[in-house]
Structure 1
């Protein structure tokens, strides 16, 4: 018998189609994947392969057309919108490439936002703890325009972590950063997995970023196309190049 508690996320035969008839587009086509707790997984593949759709379905941001998504033992398929919203607020963290910080709020206020939206009053100590976790304890009173790109992304990370989520999802979280700053954010994610047992699932186009993960899952045309475990950037880049090579 499979131990369901050892997996933060389980996808079984997940498909996602948009539209109907001849114009229908299949973004995911019968995907079955497990994401073990306390691991760092990168998701890669050619443009249009379904990477972001996979992330959104796994995080409960989008509903699959068919199949099963289980997060921390909870089946998402039959949940009402209200219960799905509560699950996302309490058990899932999401970090976007564009940071999505509110410019009129300070770093501390941005970090506290998920708890306020949930009707909870965040304690100052909890907000300080989240900012300290990403190395920004001294930037609590700064607004986004007063922070570098890397600092803004770390505020976005702290905001995603304030609810202590079971899974942290990142959709190209280093895509808008320069190389050095991107590496700092990746090192932070890696340390959260190794030191705190956080589960991280990240979509990326960057083989170097993917090499920070425990494993890399590849998608092509909405289907899994193999994976690599503990691979370096060169091996990952070679696999991506093969997947992207169009037949003559």
Structure 2
């Protein structure tokens, strides 16, 4: 049996102490198959972003295990974890994490440069065009809108074709047309290049592009629906997008 690209086994993550203690995730177990696209949904405070952070190695659970690309990242030394994230994992953050002094082009290629890989200029140009920034490649973050900065972050995460791509509300700050193009890029990453995408979203239409939708409530998985429509997702959320 082929190992899943990402596996969470009994993951619990709590914050705070005493009466203020909150379980963001409680005994969560989930498997994300290789070459699949999974959307993660649920109301605010349900644990969606915490699941993404633990699954991507940006946070460590108090108990349980997380395996990414065959490695148990909960026990991986920080130095080795940083190398794994650099070489095999891509993350699209809600906060863009761009370097203010660098242009859009330079921000996109920065991780490749740090890994001492030579990025393909044609692919960089194509990604920037696909996210609507073909005429903004020389602009620095301060010269770009929030939505445009988000697009730079998306192009950066896609450039190296990581085995696993985690995306936290990747279309939340984008207009409808650009959001559609970004979802096409994520779908393409799965269908054409066999990458695995795990995307947190509040948008039923965005989630409907995925192969499956994982629903969280109060830090627990409450449902997993295969190939639902946007209408079915909206009903499952009780009308809350």
TM-score, normalised relative to structure 1 = 0.87
Task: Note the C-alpha offset of 1:127.
Answer: 4.5
Corresponding position of 2:167:
170
Query: Does residue 159 of structure 1 match 2:153?
Result: no
Query: Does residue 239 of structure 1 match 2:236?
Result: yes
Corresponding position of 1:103:
100
Q: CA 1:146–1:195 in 2, change beyond 3 Å: closer, same or farther?
A: farther
* CA offset digits 1:90-109 (Å, max 9, x no partner): 11101123433233211221
Task: Note the C-alpha offset of 1:210.
Answer: 0.5
Q: Is contact 1:10-1:35 (8 Å) kept? A: yes
Candidates 10, 15, 20, aligned match of 2:17: 20
Q: Is contact 1:9-1:71 (8 Å) kept? A: yes
Corresponding position of 1:129:
123
Q: CA 1:185–1:233 in 2, change beyond 3 Å: closer, same or farther?
A: same
Candidates 110, 134, 155, aligned match of 1:113: 110
| CA–CA distance in structure 2, aligned partners of residues 132 and 178 of structure 1 | 20
Q: CA 1:163–1:192 in 2, change beyond 3 Å: closer, same or farther?
A: closer
Query: Does residue 35 of structure 1 match 2:8?
Result: no
Q: Is contact 1:90-1:164 (8 Å) kept? A: no
Q: Is contact 1:14-1:67 (8 Å) kept? A: yes
Equivalenced residue count is: 237
Q: CA 1:171–1:74 in 2, change beyond 3 Å: closer, same or farther?
A: same
Candidates 222, 226, 231, aligned match of 2:223: 226
Superposed, which structure 2 residues align to 1:134-213 within 5 Å?
A: 135=130, 139-145=136-142, 151-213=148-210
Structure 1 residue runs of 5 or longer lacking an equivalent are none
Structure 2 residue runs of 5 or longer lacking an equivalent are none
Q: After superposing the two structures, state which structure 1 stretch, 93-102 or 137-146, moved more.
A: 137-146
| CA–CA distance in structure 1, aligned partners of residues 51 and 73 of structure 2 | 14
1:170 is paired with a residue of what secondary structure?
strand
Q: Is contact 2:161-2:195 (8 Å) kept? A: no
| CA–CA distance in structure 2, aligned partners of residues 16 and 160 of structure 1 | 26
Task: Note the C-alpha offset of 1:141.
Answer: 2.9
Q: CA 1:127–1:25 in 2, change beyond 3 Å: closer, same or farther?
A: farther
Candidates 47, 50, 53, aligned match of 1:56: 53
| CA–CA distance in structure 1, aligned partners of residues 98 and 12 of structure 2 | 31
Over the residues paired in the alignment, what is the CA RMSD in angstroms?
2.1
